[in-house]
């Protein structure tokens, strides 16, 4: 009985905070726009009984999903989001792995401080940090100022409002999500394994490829998913740092929702986004499971 | 046996394979190895014995190249190895912690070193199979290290270090986790490999019986220094100090004062008792403090007063039954306990000695070794 309660609590939590909102979004995505509050129809009226419910179901349709396939804006936005998320994940990995490696190799008394520094940015609002990047990357910004002063460039570089700025923003923002799982995998690694590898004839570099990288594989996979999954739906960074050429589904969704007040289409966009992400989410879960088994 | 003539350390013509020359290793201000000089010859089976923390692993790690001496030199085959990285040394080490690669199967762990040599599959496969057979791991080849038992892991580590058939093999407590039978078998396998391949072994062990069984020479260490190096019989029969005598096997130590006589030394050990008598290769001055070390099995025990010069009367206060042997703890004048060991050739019920019995202990003049410290 106690077991049952223990299991039930997280499931109830998920039901209330994940499944129910999802069903609501799904329902809205099958509705039609209306100039009303809320701005869609039909709405469920439980007072009307069974007949009203049947009538309500009858009014739901797939129209919005069909619409998504008709306007090429949407699939281009999905594709571009996945592409940006993929390259941003690779960049974050390239930047994050050496940092995680250095942290795991640092003297043990330094490690808590270094971890602290990685987490420190979370203490400031995400929005303020992205705004700060606007200040850094703009034509009159800090970066251009510095480069001009050093004489490395004659004309200010246009970085803000390009995809480059989006990548910089994403790598900066999501770096901790990449570093932490890789660090935790590397930190667990027994250093005598590297000695054993060297003893058996590996150079330092070979030992790194043959021992360190495979042993941090789970951390790498976890980090990549933790970056990729949220970045696909990212809205703030592309809209603040990106330009008109930056097409991401998060931005499209925001515009449908707030600018066009088209809740049903916005919901349909969200539902499709979720379906796209479900594959990596499942893969991520599998990876976590495998890791637990390997440790158990 | 061949071992009896194998003694390169007595031959000044022989060049040692390994030379420690005044090697000191400090960790911070802690001295792990203290000005150690030692030669180890090719094809030796050199055993390091000593209490925990005395620096055995540190010595091995310096040989393998994972630690550099703070002072002094290490030469392998006449070459100073200070600048040679571990992967360039013809040395393989079996780690005390095993250090098995958790992401590889038992098979791949063993093949790891062979693959690095760029050997072909046709060469690697039979070699790995041979190692698996030797360590009786055939059935576990496809498992990962976390799926096998502690003793099996130890065998994988052993197999992995043996696979490359190096010139010099460092084994840090290779058999500690094995049961007595398997340990004995593996000891003989190791000696066999040693004989067949001529590999030089340096082996750390906590088990002095194991050291005695396999080693050509045994080094007893304490606090970063080697106290004595000798063949197993020598180190057992002729320890150079109380420390070594006490560390190797069971021993009775009797403190006394030496008085030179025509045929050896009289040793006064309890006021008003007849002195003990012993012969010694060492010389002692009149009135010098000395220690008599004698092995329990060299002390005879009986109910009749014996005819020998060394005899002490006492009372049995404890009997330790070891199956093939029994050790009697006998309280003698002065409250001292002397242990005497006899082989249990008769059945238990036929033996006469029991608790509280008054007995005579006796030993010959050459049974005890006189030591200064
Ligand atoms: N990296 C290190 N830093 C500081 N001290 C160390 C280090 N490695 C070893 N020591 C110290 O050096 C001493 C010798 O260590 P070593 O590992 O050689 O002992 P050992 O003889 O192998 O002991 P055991 O039989 O327990 O394995 C120990 O006191 C140990 O604490
Ligand atoms: Mg050790």
Could you report the per-residue pLDDT of A104-149, keeping only the tens digit for each? 999 999 999 999 999 999 899 999 999 999 999 999 999 999 999 9
A179 and A53 in a common domain: no
- Could you give the dihedral angle defined by the CA atoms of residues B195, B196, B200 and B203, in that order, rounded to the nearest 10 degrees? -60
Residue B110: pLDDT over 60: yes
A274 and A195 in a common domain: yes
Whole-model pTM over 0.95: no
Of B64, B102, B146, the CB nearest to A215: B102
CA A16 to chain centre: 23
- Hey, what long-range contacts does B76-80 have (CB within 8 A, 24 or more apart)? B76/B17, B76/B18, B76/B168, B77/B17, B78/B15, B78/B19
> Which of residues A61, A86, A116 is at a domain's end?
A61
CA A103 to chain centre: 24
A260 and A170 in a common domain: yes
Instruction: Give the class (CATH, top level) of B251-371.
Output: mainly beta
> Is residue A142 in some structural domain?
yes
CA distance B41 to chain A (A): 22
Residue B3: pLDDT over 80: no
Task: State the average pLDDT for chain B.
Answer: 90
Q: What is the pLDDT of residue B69?
A: 95
Query: Ligand 1 pocket, B205 CB below 6 A?
Result: no
Q: Where are the beta strands (DSSP E) in B58-187?
A: 71-76, 79-80, 91-94, 168-172
> Is residue A283 in some structural domain?
yes
pLDDT tens, N- to C-terminus, chain A (296 residues):
788 888 888 888 888 888 899 999 999 999 888 888 888 888 877 777 888 888 888 888 888 898 888 888 899 999 999 999 999 999 999 999 999 999 999 999 999 999 999 999 989 999 999 999 999 999 999 999 999 999 888 888 899 999 999 999 999 999 999 999 999 999 999 999 999 999 999 999 999 999 999 999 989 999 999 999 999 999 999 999 998 888 999 999 998 888 888 899 999 999 999 988 888 888 888 888 887 777 65
Q: What is the pLDDT of residue B348?
A: 62
Q: What is the DSSP code (8-state) at residue B307?
A: S
**Residues within 5 Å of ion ligand 2 by Cβ?**
B 57, 96
> Which two tokens mark B283?
């010389």
Cα–Cα distance for residue pair A100/A118, rounded to 1 Å: 10
Q: Cα dist. B195→A230, B44, B47, B304 in Å?
A: 64, 10, 16, 49
The DSSP bridge partners found for residue B27 are B30
Q: What is the pLDDT of residue B373?
A: 77
> Which two tokens mark B100?
């098995």
Give the CA count within 13 Å in the CB-facing half-sphere of B232: 16
B13-243 and B251-371 agree in CATH topology: no
**What is the B371 CA–ligand 1 centroid distance (Å)?**
30
Residue whose CA is at the smallest distance from ligand 1 atom 18: B55
- Could you give the dihedral angle defined by the CA atoms of residues A12, A13, A16 and A18, in that order, rounded to the nearest 10 degrees? -120
- Neighbouring residues of B159: CB distance < 8 A, sequence distance ≥ 6: B110, B131, B132, B134, B135, B137
Q: What is the pLDDT of residue B2?
A: 47
A99 and A46 in a common domain: no
Host domain of residue A196: 71-295
Mutation for B interface: A107, A189, A195, A196, most B CBs within 10 A: A196
Ligand nearest to the CA of B61: 1
Residues of B with CB under 8 A from a CB of A: 64-66, 85-87, 91-93, 95, 97, 99-103, 112-113, 116-117, 146, 160, 164
Place of tokens 């039901």: A15
Q: A116: phi > 0 → left, psi -120 to 50 → alpha, else beta; which?
A: alpha
A154 and A40 in a common domain: no
Q: What is the pLDDT of residue A296?
A: 57
Q: What is the pLDDT of residue A295?
A: 67
With cut-offs at 50, 70 and 90, classify the pLDDT of residue B88: very high
B193 neighbors B162 (Cβ within 8 angstroms): yes
A154 and A110 in a common domain: yes
Pairing of strands B91-94, B168-172: parallel
A209 and A182 in a common domain: yes
> Is residue A9 in some structural domain?
no
A204 and A81 in a common domain: yes
> Is residue A79 in some structural domain?
yes
Whether the ω angle into residue B105 lies within 30 degrees of 0, i.e. cis, is no
> Which of residues A61, A85, A114 is at a domain's end?
A61
> Is residue A55 in some structural domain?
yes
Statement: B13-243 belongs to CATH 3.40.50.1860: no
Query: Ligand 1 pocket, B359 CB below 6 A?
Result: no
Query: Ligand 1 pocket, B32 CB below 6 A?
Result: yes
What is the strand order of the sheet B310-321 is part of?
A: B300-302, B358-363, B310-321, B325-332, B336-343
CA-CA-CA-CA torsion sign (B181, B186, B188, B189): positive
> Is residue A109 in some structural domain?
yes
> Is residue A14 in some structural domain?
no
Q: Angle at Cα B118 formed by Cα B115 and Cα B121, nearest 5°?
A: 65
CA A135 to chain centre: 24
Q: What is the pLDDT of residue B4?
A: 54
- Quote the number of domains for chain A: 2
Place of tokens 């570099």: A205
- C-beta atoms of A192 and B117 within 8 A: no
pLDDT tens digits, one per residue of B242-258: 999 999 888 999 999 99
CA distance A186 to chain B (A): 13
Q: What is the DSSP code (8-state) at residue B86?
A: G
We report the CATH number of the domain holding residue A163 as: 1.10.3720.10
Cα–Cα distance for residue pair A257/A264, rounded to 1 Å: 9
A284 and A190 in a common domain: yes
Cα–Cα distance for residue pair A85/A228, rounded to 1 Å: 5
A47 and A127 in a common domain: no
Residue B334: pLDDT over 90: no
Cα–Cα distance for residue pair B39/B52, rounded to 1 Å: 23
Cα–Cα distance for residue pair B203/A200, rounded to 1 Å: 18
pLDDT tens digits, one per residue of B149-201: 998 999 999 999 999 999 999 999 998 888 989 899 889 988 888 888 889 99
For chain B, the structural domain boundaries read: 13-243, 251-371
Q: What is the pLDDT of residue B351?
A: 65
Taking residues B97-108, report their average pLDDT: 94
Q: Which atom of ligand 1 is nearest to the CA of B55?
A: 18
Q: Which of B140, B136, B143 has its CA nearest to residue B186?
A: B136
Residue B102: pLDDT over 60: yes
Cα–Cα distance for residue pair A203/A210, rounded to 1 Å: 10
Q: Cα dist. A247→A215, A238, A239 in Å?
A: 37, 8, 9
A224 and A89 in a common domain: yes
- Neighbouring residues of A182: CB distance < 8 A, sequence distance ≥ 6: A96, A97, A100, A101, A216, A219, A220, A223
Query: Ligand 1 pocket, B27 CB below 6 A?
Result: yes
B7 neighbors B19 (Cβ within 8 angstroms): no
Segment among A43-47, B104-108, B352-356 with least mean pLDDT: A43-47
A110 and A37 in a common domain: no
> Is residue A183 in some structural domain?
yes
The A residues from 215 to 244 touching B (CB cutoff 8 Å) are: 215, 217
């Amino acid at each position: 009985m106690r077991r049952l309660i223990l299991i039930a609590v997280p499931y109830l939590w998920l039901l209330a905070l994940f499944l129910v909102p999802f069903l609501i979004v799904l329902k809205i995505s099958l509705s039609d726009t209306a100039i009303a509050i809320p701005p869609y129809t039909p709405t469920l009226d439980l007072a009307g009984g069974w007949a009203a419910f049947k009538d309500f179901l009858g009014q739901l349709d797939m129209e919005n999903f069909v619409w998504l396939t008709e306007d090429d804006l949407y699939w281009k936005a999905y594709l571009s989001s996945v592409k940006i998320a993929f390259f941003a994940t690779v960049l974050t990995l390239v930047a994050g792995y050496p940092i995680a490696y250095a942290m795991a190799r640092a003297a043990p008394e330094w490690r808590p401080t270094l971890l602290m520094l990685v987490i420190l940015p979370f203490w400031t609002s995400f929005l303020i940090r992205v705004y700060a990047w606007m200040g850094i990357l703009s034509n009159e910004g800090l970066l251009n100022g510095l480069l001009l002063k050093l004489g490395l460039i004659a004309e200010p570089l246009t970085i803000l409002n390009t995809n480059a700025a989006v990548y910089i923003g994403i790598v900066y923002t999501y770096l901790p999500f990449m570093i932490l799982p890789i660090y935790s995998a590397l930190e667990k690694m027994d250093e005598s394994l590297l000695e054993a590898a060297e003893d058996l004839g590996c150079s330092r570099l070979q030992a790194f490829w043959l021992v360190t990288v495979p042993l941090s594989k789970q951390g790498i996979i976890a980090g990549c998913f933790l970056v990729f999954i949220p970045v696909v739906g990212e809205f703030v960074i592309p809209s603040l740092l990106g330009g008109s050429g930056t097409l991401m589904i998060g931005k499209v969704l925001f515009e449908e929702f707030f600018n066009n007040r088209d809740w049903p289409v916005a919901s349909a966009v969200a539902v499709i986004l979720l379906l796209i992400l479900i594959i990596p989410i499942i893969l991520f879960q599998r990876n976590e499971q495998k890791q637990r088994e390997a440790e158990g | 046996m061949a071992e009896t003539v194998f003694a390169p350390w007595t031959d000044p013509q022989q060049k040692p394979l390994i030379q420690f020359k005044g090697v000191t290793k400090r960790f911070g201000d802690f001295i792990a190895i203290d000005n150690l000089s030692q030669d180890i010859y090719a094809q030796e089976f050199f055993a390091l014995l000593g209490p925990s923390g005395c620096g055995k692993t540190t010595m091995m790690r310096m040989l393998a190249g994972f630690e550099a001496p703070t002072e002094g030199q290490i030469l392998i085959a006449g070459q100073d190895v200070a600048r040679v990285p571990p992967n360039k040394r013809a040395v393989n080490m079996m780690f005390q912690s095993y250090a098995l690669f958790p992401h590889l199967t038992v098979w791949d762990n063993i093949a790891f070193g062979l693959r690095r040599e760029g050997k072909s599959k046709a060469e690697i496969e039979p070699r790995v199979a041979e190692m698996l057979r030797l360590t009786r791991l055939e059935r576990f080849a496809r498992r990962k290290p976390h799926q096998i038992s502690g003793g099996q892991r130890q065998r994988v580590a052993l197999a992995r270090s043996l696979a490359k058939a190096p010139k010099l093999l460092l084994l840090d407590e290779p058999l500690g986790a094995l049961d007595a039978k398997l340990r004995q078998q593996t000891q003989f396998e190791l000696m066999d490999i040693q004989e067949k391949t001529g590999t030089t072994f340096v082996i750390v062990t906590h088990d002095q019986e194991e050291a005695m069984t396999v080693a050509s020479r045994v080094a007893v260490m304490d606090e970063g220094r080697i106290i004595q190096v000798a063949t197993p019989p020598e180190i057992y029969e002729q320890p150079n100090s109380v420390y070594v005598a006490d560390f190797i096997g069971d021993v009775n130590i009797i403190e006394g004062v030496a008085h030179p006589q025509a045929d050896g030394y009289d040793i006064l050990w309890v006021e008003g008792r007849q002195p003990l008598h012993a012969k010694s290769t060492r010389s002692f001055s009149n009135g010098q403090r000395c220690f008599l070390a004698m092995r329990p099995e060299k002390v005879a025990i009986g109910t009749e007063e014996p005819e020998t010069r060394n005899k002490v009367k006492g009372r049995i206060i404890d009997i330790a039954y070891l199956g093939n042997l029994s050790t009697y703890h006998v309280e003698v004048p002065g409250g001292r306990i002397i242990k005497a060991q006899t082989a249990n050739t008769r059945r238990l019920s036929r033996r006469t000695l029991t608790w509280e019995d008054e007995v005579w202990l006796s030993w010959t003049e050459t049974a005890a070794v006189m030591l200064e410290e």
